[in-house]
Structure 1
């Protein structure tokens, strides 16, 4: 992940998309970059938990750390790190700072494209809300993989984030299509503009970067009957539907399915969701 990328036209195949995105530099939030430099100055006082909490608030920095950790050698019986904190424990604090120097920022990369920065900000805010919902659902269900479910919801739309970074005009074209036709589904708009669906690109990138199997599976909506996948899927869907308020036509169906997942009544479910928010 080293070269700066700015695509104006869509690559011809899914594999070509993967090749382009897999080798491109991934910028992070300015707040993340500044916090890392502050922590670097006192790395001897840092621990994996504190550093991990800071990184886990930034989906793209989370992605970079998990992808890097997946490439590290480990013992035959050592599991793949499925959360940022686990990845940092595997790496060690000093090797982490050595591997991750001063980070490029989203704000600098998209300084010439204000609309793209706004579009990206919306996706990242939605991801943060979805991760909170998913963690809440998992905690309510006493799921032992709650931390991985939180990561999966945070990363669920990372291909859309990367599209805003690496191909802002194409991302804007999709947004404009959907603004003009509210009934147009995201996947249909993506196929029309990109020739692929972002969900397929995301799964292919996760495989290319050897991200943990559990994280890859939980992020895949095609396994929607699995309760862990449903935690993420419904969290992401609710965050999308309520991005501009709770009066979206899709919210009642979301509430019904979340109530079923959590085995709660509708009123109790709504109260819980507002607490998560």
Structure 2
């Protein structure tokens, strides 16, 4: 339950409060680490550990914060990927950090849904960024994974806020999820993510990618987050998906509409064909200036 004082908090107060909480991890991350250590102890590589972190936004953030603190002490390069974080800290520190982390409550449906969106966004980012020969698809994937961290923190430590926003959306009081957040909480959850990123002194590159504007890499990160939300919240019939795919085609001119849609999970051929047809219509309506 929120206190009377917390009900009056804005994004700055919530960011200050949440940034001081101990970050948990998903239970599957600990289970996966123990499984790997049991089956391939002598051959366990940094890449294996980075893959665990890349599938868990809480753990990824916890690892990144620890690696950045370590980097500052040693004046190394900024840490912008899960693999770089593991290399910065070392496998023993990763092991200790993960096993000493509290675990999230996977009985909390809102948290599970939000985490699933973040995970899907990161997977899309890896595939789509790879198709445009990005200099580091892992950076875009990491930003996509962390873009929902503000909402994830709220589900973990102040679930009444995102629950109220969902209720307003489902009741029709607010037309879109972002508007529901502003109407019920007074701020966008993405703004909370960005405020926390500043408090934690995350690398400016990651903060820019999470912000999701200003350049094609940041736009792609934002698009992956939006696409994951539309697909997992509304399903294949989401009216926003064709526009997402049309925008992805602009950002990744070397990829076909069909290939872009193939990267979306759990769609049957009929659904893929319908999204492709509508995305092609969206493309045809775009002006030359929008395509430049």
- TM-score, normalised via structure 1 length: 0.85
2:174 touches 2:180 (CA, 8 Å); kept in 1?
A: no
2:288 corresponds to: none
1:131-142 equivalences in 2 (<5 Å): 131-142=122-133
1:3 corresponds to: none
2:122 touches 2:142 (CA, 8 Å); kept in 1?
A: yes
2:158 corresponds to: 167
1:58 corresponds to: 56
2:161 touches 2:184 (CA, 8 Å); kept in 1?
A: yes
- Between 1 and 2, higher relative CO (CA 8 Å, sep ≥ 6) is seen in 1
Aligned pair partner of 1:255 in 245, 248, 264: 245
SS in 2 for 1:181: coil
1:10 corresponds to: 7
Give the CA RMSD over aligned residues: 2.3
2:245 touches 2:260 (CA, 8 Å); kept in 1?
A: no
CA 1:144–1:31 in 2, change beyond 3 Å: closer, same or farther? Answer: same
Matched length: 260
1:148 corresponds to: 139
CA 1:95–1:11 in 2, change beyond 3 Å: closer, same or farther? Answer: farther
Distance 2:191 2:111 in 1: 19
SS in 2 for 1:71: helix
Shift of 1:179: 0.9
Distance 1:80 1:161 in 2: 24
CA 1:53–1:11 in 2, change beyond 3 Å: closer, same or farther? Answer: farther
SS in 1 for 2:7: coil
Aligned pair partner of 1:181 in 163, 172, 177: 172
1:220 corresponds to: 211
2:270 corresponds to: none
2:25 touches 2:103 (CA, 8 Å); kept in 1?
A: yes
Runs (5+) with no aligned partner, structure 2: 266-292
Distance 1:264 1:247 in 2: 26
1:106 corresponds to: 104
Shift of 1:182: 7.9
Shift of 1:103: 2.4
SS in 2 for 1:127: helix
Higher Rg of the two aligned structures: 2
Distance 2:43 2:236 in 1: 43
CA 1:100–1:258 in 2, change beyond 3 Å: closer, same or farther? Answer: closer
SS in 1 for 2:239: coil
Distance 1:11 1:39 in 2: 46
